[in-house]
Chains A and B, each alone.
Chain A
């Protein structure tokens, strides 16, 4: 039984030998690849701290087996900033004070990027709150998170229009 998988993680293709089929994407990232930005909160798919983009969609890395995703593309919080420039969602989280302790923040940011990509919420705060309900924040920074996601949505829509024009 071959347990090796090839994953493209933050734009780098990696062949990974697994010694156990139980390894989740979350444990693979944190314990074997030292990408500890993705956090383990509940490990049960309830808190959203482990949110990553898997083939462009936001998912809970704690509930995905690495062996199920041979060939997948993964984007984590470590892969967002390019050349020292923060991703617009990262910048908006800082501008709006959208965190206190920071533990849920990587998951919140990855989830927000997924939400913006889905295009269903737009800049409606109620739809943003509903769309972000899979990410818990024990510090209660929800107001800042909502403001940051709304602003980043507008900024990214503006940037897209600018490119088109």
Chain B
């Protein structure tokens, strides 16, 4: 790990002023940043430590059903907040499907949005990576790439965004509150992460020195609480990143789908909202045929970026599973294995 200057701002204004110096990075829990510093991928000259800030650490529920979550709220704290879990169960399920309990106890809401890809070539300094070293090439193309992107990738980069949390957030129209040298602004979570194009080193819309201060979910998002699930397929049962995942949320009226939300994880460099599939589900009966059709629409533009064509069919099946589980209804208690396709379900969904 390179050495660095360590500063402890007490307010957001002090933090932003401290981070104005080139080479600065914000440090929250550090579960991703310190990891990357240990392997020399991140080398900040100055760490602006957010652990001594006053504020940004509360969950504020609005009477109308929305919520504002401070960027320093811990993943576990949010997932275990009873009111949050009741209103946004798919988000809680996604949080509990990510990382380990130790990491969830410290990892923050803001940091989750900003975590870097787990592409092995990004993490290996001996490999070419346009995301880490622009113009150096992409060793994932033609390399070990079975877990890489099938949507929104470019010739320059085929990495995926690793977050579970961001997938239902994208489906539920979350908004990111940002403060920075040029003042406050807000961005829809769907527009927060960038597809690689020819500039994969630009991962989000954040300008240098900008700080995520909060995340909001609108009241309308709580309208899906009765039919909202997250399903995540991993290469082992727990404590692994998604091969593919899907968040599905339905608002039912009179036995039909009044409104549907569907988003995918593990398929692209950003959480992937499937709006055309949502439109196809509106007004439909919650039946297998409609779910299969929606899943096909959602993956219509997908193409393999390497040895990963299987992920397209897998994403379709995970979407169908998530939609079927959402239609059955949000369980009163989260399953023992949150988001797992191996969790037993009444009605014999396996098969």
A58-B102 contact given A69-B51, A120-B80, A126-B336, CB 8 Å threshold: yes
Contact A1 B5 (CB under 8 A): yes
Shortest C-beta distance, B42 to chain A (Å), equals 13
Check if B336 sits within 8 Å of A134, measured CB to CB: no
B29-37, B57-65, B281-289 - interface stretch: B29-37
Which residues in B have their C-beta under 8 angstroms from that of A44?
35, 38
Shortest Cβ distance from B4 into A: residue: A21
Question: In the complex, which of the residues A3, A69, A132, A133 has the most CB atoms of chain B within 10 Å of its own CB atom?
Answer: A133
A43 within 8 A of partner (CB): yes
Contact A111 B49 (CB under 8 A): no
Number of B residues contacting the other chain (C-beta, 8 Å)?
32
Residues 1-60 of B contacting A (Cβ, < 8 Å): 1, 3-7, 27, 29-31, 34-35, 38, 47, 49, 51-52
A127: chain B residues at CB < 8 Å are 336
Instruction: Say yes or no: is A20 at the interface (Cβ < 8 Å to chain B).
Output: yes
Closest A residue to B37 by beta carbon equals A22
Across the interface, do B4 and A63 meet the contact criterion of CB distance under 8 Å?
no
Known: A114-B101, A134-B102. A68 touches B27 (CB 8 A): yes
A67 and B6 within 8 A (CB): yes
Q: Which of A43, A63, A115 has the most CB of B within 10 A?
A: A63
Q: Is B308 an interface residue (CB 8 A)?
A: no
Q: Which of B6, B30, B35, B338 has the most CB of A within 10 A?
A: B6
Contacts of A51 in B (CB 8 A): 102
Provided the pairs A44-B38, A58-B105, A134-B102 are in contact, do residues A68 and B51 lie with their beta carbons within 8 angstroms? yes
Asked if A59 meets B49 with Cβ closer than 8 Å, knowing A22-B1, A64-B30, the reply is: no
Contacts of B136 in A (CB 8 A): none
Q: Which chain B positions have C-beta within 8 A of A31?
A: none
Q: Beyond A1-B5, A22-B3, is A67–B101 a contact (Cβ under 8 Å)?
A: no
With A3-B6, A21-B47, A124-B336 as known contacts, state yes or no: A45 contacts B31, CB within 8 Å.
Answer: yes
A133 near B100: Cβ-Cβ < 8 Å: yes
Does A48 lie within 8 Å of B27, measured CB to CB?
Answer: no
CB atoms of A130 and B30 under 8 A apart: no
- Tell whether A38 is near chain B: CB-to-CB under 8 Å: no
Give 5 closest A-B pairs by Cβ, nearest first: A134-B100, A133-B238, A126-B336, A21-B6, A133-B239
B residues in contact (CB < 8 Å) with A: 1, 3-7, 27, 29-31, 34-35, 38, 47, 49, 51-52, 76, 80, 99-103, 105-106, 237-239, 336-338
23 pairs of residues in contact across A and B, judged by CB atoms under 8 Å: A1-B5, A1-B6, A3-B6, A21-B3, A21-B4, A22-B3, A22-B4, A24-B34, A48-B102, A51-B102, A57-B76, A57-B105, A60-B106, A64-B30, A64-B106, A65-B6, A65-B49, A67-B49, A68-B51, A69-B51, A118-B76, A131-B101, A133-B239
